Each structure stands twice: as structure tokens, then as C-alpha cells.
């Protein structure tokens, strides 16, 4: 079947037909680097990594761009608060972000541009917008005139009053209209800036993505992605300034937005004590488990992160990895068609995961060694489209243990000696000692194996 994606712009699922079948181009708004990224940040990047993998399996070439915002008021404040030079801060936190993405099993984007390296392109766009009458300068600021763009609001479908409330716009004397948004603003002492026709200053947030996406993907490209919280004002503003600059019907053709993530049923907040970073989670949980939980709900639906979803995710991954345990894999295997069909239906990852379990059920029912190997190979290949099941099963079950493997093996040997001597009380004591450390022992015909709880 063809690939169908839900387009936020049209509010319906549409057959995806790329502008150029030989090069599918898509852009995802990246992170602002001033601290560790939180688990809510992780969801869009895992979702769009699955899209990236799917597109690469369906088309000959894909160009995936995900930017880094390394100039922003939040960054300036963080620098001032901790006394760290801005470049050092952004460089350090960019490394944190890339480490987190690697831990989650995300493929790196083809291009990961830094905002600070594309200020020239932003100034060119701003100059064009002024010349065309869509923007104006006042008191060192350059602002986009929303009233000059009649199509404004087509993505969010908010009216004027809703937009004012949603944007919490600053009613400033340099604005002609409260809805007008900043393209360029002045920089004071000890604040990063660049020389421009409008004075020493720095770009607004929205113009960054328009400039970087158009540079690497062209004035028109296939897909733009991000969280639902970016629909307004960020993505609405991107459309307005890009189409005002490049012309009607330019910019992104399909808009994808993932649902929001809550923690234990509540919006994530430092004041509630439920603010969790990817780094903190990965210290306790395997990155693949975090990824699996993020894919366990359809990307457009809200997702609640809680102990139950993590427990269920661990059980599900255990079952999938257990099916690969001890299996020899065939050199060639095709994707299981139901997995492909699910992903082609607007990235239905829960249905795709269900199809992976269907392969496991078929494998358990099979009595043929060759068929088992073929099904195991199909399972691994199919899971790769989701970025799952790519490590050795034994490594998965051992995971991050709280005691080293040498000690575990020594204790298993001691337990085996106790069992041979029929000292079952001592054998149980060893098992319980390991269980307290999070290690589960499994006795089988080929001896005792272990895995993390």
C-alpha cells in the first residue's frame, strides 16, 4: 500500500507523494541547547527517527535535517545564571543531546545545522521581507506584519483572539499590532549579536528554521515535523515568513505533529517534581526500553510516562528478545508485511509492535528449525524499521547490572555447587541475594543463565 500521513495543514490522512521520488526531504525542529533534554523532548525525535527509517526503506534517497538552536533567550539566561560562556554552554549541552539521541537508538540526521552559523541566511530573508512589505523596522527591531499575510492562521486554525491568548504576545511600543512577531532584535552589552542593517542584534527564533530548512531542502520540501506545542506560534510563523519570502504554495507540503507527553498523568514541571531528563532515565533504564515506551502509543495521541507503561514495555521487549535467543539468523530476510502496512498507515507503531509479537507467536508454534530461523530473521529485520531488537539478546537480558558479571557468575557457580550437595537452603539464599540486586536466574537444560530484572 502507499504511505499515508496525517497532514495537520489539511486535517486528514493523505497519500504521500514526494516532490522528487529520488530525494525525499524533511525537516524537524531541533532542541534549544542550554541544559539536558527532557523525556518530552525525546518523543518527537524517536517518532521522526522511525519516519526517517521508513522513508529510507521506501525511497532511494532521503535528506533529513534537524537543527540545533544555539542562540536564544533561554540560553542567554542559563549562561548568566551559571556564569558559563555561551559557546561553552551550547557546545557542552549539544554533546549531551547527541549522546541522548544515540542512547535512544536514533540515527543521526543527514544535516544538523547550528543557528549561529546561518545568521547570514536569516538576514537575507529579513531584507527580502522588508522589501516586499511584509516586515518593518522599529527601534532596532524588525517585525513581521501579520495583517500583511491574509493566510495567517491556516495551520493552527485559531482566530485573532485565540492567537493573542495562545501566544502570550508582548505588547511593546515598537509593534504596530500585538500579533506581529520578531524577526530581529537588538543585543545589549555582553549579549551575543551580529552586525546588520538594523543595528547590532540577533535573530528571532522563528526565522532560524525558515532560513536553515530552505538552505538545505529548498524553498519547497516534503515534510516538516515537530510537537503539537509548536503548531502555534512557531510553525504558523514559519509558514507566514517563508511563503511571504518565497511565494505562495512554497515551504513544507505535509505537516506532522506528535502528541504531548505527561508524567504520571500530569504535565511535566519542575515545581511538581516530575521533570525527568533523558539522561536521568538512561541511568536507570536501557535506552531501547525508553524508545519502546515512546513508540507504544500512536504518535498523534498523548502518552503518559509511568511505572506501568515502563513495566509493560520491559515485559514486551523481554518476550521479543527471548524469541531471538539462541536462534541462528538467515542472511536474507524480508520485512513482515503487517509491520510494513502498519507503519505505512500514518506510522502506526503500536500496531507494528503487535505485528512483531505475531511473528513471535508463529515462531513458538513452529517445529521446524529452518522455519524458526527464518521467522527469527524476519523478526529482527522487521524490528529494525522501528529501531528495535538490534542488539545481542544476551546483552539485552544482562543490561546494566548493579554488580559485575564476574561476581554474578561466581555466585551462580556457588549456587550450582550447593544444589549438587543438596544444600537447597544455601542455593535459595544465593538466588535471593542476586534477586535483591536485580538479577533473575533462569535454569534450563543447558545450565543457568541470568538477566536483569
The predicted-structure confidence for 2-54, as pLDDT tens digits, reads as follows 999 999 999 999 999 999 999 999 999 999 999 999 999 999 999 999 999 99
Per-residue confidence (pLDDT) for residue 168, from 0 to 100 = 53
Q: Confidence class of residue 430 from pLDDT cuts 50, 70 and 90?
A: confident
Per-residue confidence (pLDDT) for residue 402, from 0 to 100 = 56
Give the chain's count of helices (H) and strands (E).
Answer: 16, 15
How is residue 439 annotated by DSSP?
E
Per-residue confidence (pLDDT) for residue 403, from 0 to 100 = 66
SS3 354: helix
Asked if residue 418 lies in contact with residue 424, where contact means CB atoms within 8 angstroms, the answer is yes
Q: Which of 108-117, 199-208, 411-420 has the lowest mean pLDDT?
A: 411-420
Mean pLDDT, the chain, integer: 93
For the cut 80, the answer to whether the pLDDT of residue 256 exceeds it is yes
Asked if residue 179 lies in contact with residue 145, where contact means CB atoms within 8 angstroms, the answer is no
SS3 395: helix
For the cut 70, the answer to whether the pLDDT of residue 317 exceeds it is yes
- Choice between 163 and 444, residue whose per-residue pLDDT is larger: 444
In this structure, the number of other CB atoms found within 10 A of the CB of residue 152 comes to: 22
How is residue 19 annotated by DSSP?
S
Per-residue confidence (pLDDT) for residue 95, from 0 to 100 = 97
Q: Which residues of 420-449 are buried (b: 16+ CB within 10 A; e: fewer)?
A: eeeeeeebeebbeebeeeebebeeeeeeeb
- Mean pLDDT on 90-101: 97
For the cut 80, the answer to whether the pLDDT of residue 354 exceeds it is yes
Q: Which CATH class is domain 262-399?
A: mainly alpha
Per-residue confidence (pLDDT) for residue 425, from 0 to 100 = 84
Torsion angle of C-alpha atoms 181, 187, 192, 197, degrees rounded to 10: 80
pTM above 0.85, yes or no: yes
* Cell numbers given for 56: 529510507
For the cut 60, the answer to whether the pLDDT of residue 230 exceeds it is yes
Q: Which of 77-86, 94-103, 139-148, 434-443 has the lowest mean pLDDT?
A: 434-443
* pLDDT tens column, 380-413: 999 999 999 999 999 998 875 556 677 788 788 8
Q: Which CATH architecture has domain 4-258?
A: 3-Layer(aba) Sandwich (3.40)
Sole residue written with cell 515512546: 294
Q: Confidence class of residue 427 from pLDDT cuts 50, 70 and 90?
A: confident
In this structure, the number of other CB atoms found within 10 A of the CB of residue 175 comes to: 19
* pLDDT tens column, 151-202: 999 999 987 676 766 555 567 889 999 999 999 999 988 899 999 999 999 9
Amino acid at each position: 500500500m502507499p504511505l499515508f500521513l496525517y497532514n495537520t495543514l489539511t486535517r486528514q490522512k493523505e497519500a504521500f507523494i514526494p516532490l522528487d521520488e529520488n530525494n525525499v526531504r524533511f525537516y524537524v525542529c531541533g532542541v534549544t541547547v542550554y541544559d539536558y533534554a527532557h523525556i518530552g523532548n525525546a518523543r518527537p525525535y524517536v517518532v521522526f527517527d522511525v519516519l526517517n527509517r521508513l522513508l529510507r526503506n521506501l525511497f532511494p534517497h532521503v535528506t533529513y535535517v534537524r537543527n540545533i538552536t544555539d542562540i536564544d533567550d533561554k540560553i542567554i539566561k542559563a549562561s548568566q545564571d551559571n556564569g558559563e560562556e555561551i559557546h561553552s554552554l551550547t557546545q557542552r549541552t549539544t554533546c549531551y543531546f547527541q549522546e541522548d539521541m544515540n542512547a535512544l537508538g536514533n540515527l543521526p540526521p543527514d544535516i544538523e545545522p547550528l543557528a549561529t552559523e546561518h545568521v547570514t541566511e536569516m538576514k537575507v530573508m529579513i531584507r527580502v521581507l522588508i522589501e516586499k512589505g511584509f516586515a518593518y523596522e522599529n527601534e532596532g527591531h524588525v517585525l513581521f506584519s501579520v495583517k500583511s499575510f491574509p493566510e495567517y492562521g491556516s495551520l493552527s486554525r485559531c482566530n485573532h483572539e485565540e492567537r493573542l491568548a495562545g501566544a502570550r504576545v508582548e505588547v511593546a511600543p515598537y509593534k504596530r499590532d500585538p500579533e506581529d512577531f520578531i524577526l530581529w532584535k537588538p543585543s545589549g552589552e555582553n549579549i551575543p549579536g551580529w552586525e546588520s542593517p538594523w543595528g547590532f542584534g540577533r535573530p528571532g527564533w522563528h526565522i532560524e528554521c525558515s532560513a536553515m530548512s530552505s538552505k538545505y531542502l529548498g524553498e519547497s520540501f516534503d515534510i516538516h515535523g515537530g510537537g503539537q506545542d509548536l503548531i502555534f506560534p512557531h510553525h504558523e510563523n514559519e509558514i507566514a515568513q517563508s511563503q511571504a519570502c518565497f511565494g505562495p504554495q512554497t515551504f513544507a507540503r505535509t505537516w506532522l505533529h506528535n502528541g504531548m507527553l505527561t508524567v504520571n498523568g500530569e504535565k511535566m514541571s519542575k515545581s511538581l517534581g516530575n521533570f525527568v531528563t533523558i539522561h536521568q532515565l538512561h541511568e536507570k533504564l536501557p535506552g531501547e526500553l525508553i524508545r519502546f515506551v515512546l513508540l507504544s502509543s500512536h504518535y498523534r495521541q498523548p502518552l503518559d510516562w509511568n511505572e506501568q507503561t515502563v513495566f509493560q514495555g520491559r515485559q514486551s521487549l523481554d518476550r521479543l528478545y527471548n524469541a531471538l535467543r539462541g536462534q541462528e539468523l538467515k542472511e536474507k530476510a524480508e520485512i513482515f508485511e503487517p509491520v510494513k502496512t502498519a507503519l505505512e498507515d500514518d506510522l502506526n507503531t503500536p500496531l507494528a509492535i503487535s505485528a512483531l509479537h505475531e511473528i513471535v507467536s508463529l515462531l513458538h508454534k513452529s517445529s521446524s528449525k529452518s522455519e524458526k530461523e527464518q521467522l527469527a530473521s524476519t523478526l529482527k529485520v522487521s524490528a529494525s524499521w522501528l529501531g528495535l531488537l538490534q542488539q545481542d539478546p544476551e546483552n539485552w537480558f544482562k543490561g546494566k547490572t548493579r554488580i559485575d558479571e564476574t561476581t554474578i557468575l561466581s555466585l551462580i557457580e556457588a549456587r550450582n555447587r550447593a544444589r549438587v550437595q543438596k544444600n537447597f537452603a544455601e542455593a535459595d539464599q544465593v538466588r535471593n541475594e542476586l534477586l535483591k540486586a536485580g538479577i533473575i536466574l533462569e535454569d534450563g537444560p543447558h545450565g543457568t543463565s541470568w538477566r536483569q530484572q
